[in-house]
Amino acid sequence: MDLNKHLRSMAQAITETLGDHSLRQTAKETGFLKRSSKLKPEAFLSLCTL
């Protein structure tokens, strides 16, 4: 399995495990998300893992 496929499957597994709602809740609790913005927590996580 090449690196790109491995990273995509890892990012997909993380987002499926956490879910959008729990990811947003964690982002609010940690202070990452203070108000609505163009960069959503799930998009940020995808960018960091890819």
Say whether pLDDT at 7 is over 80: no
In this prediction, residue 50 carries a pLDDT of 63
CA distances from 44 to 2, 28, 32 (A): 23, 14, 10
Q: Please state the pTM of the whole predicted model.
A: 0.46
Q: What is the pLDDT of residues 15-50, one digit of tens each?
A: 788 777 887 788 889 887 777 777 777 788 777 876
Say whether pLDDT at 9 is over 80: yes
CA distance 3 to 10: 10
Closest CA to 42 of 34, 31, 21, 30: 21
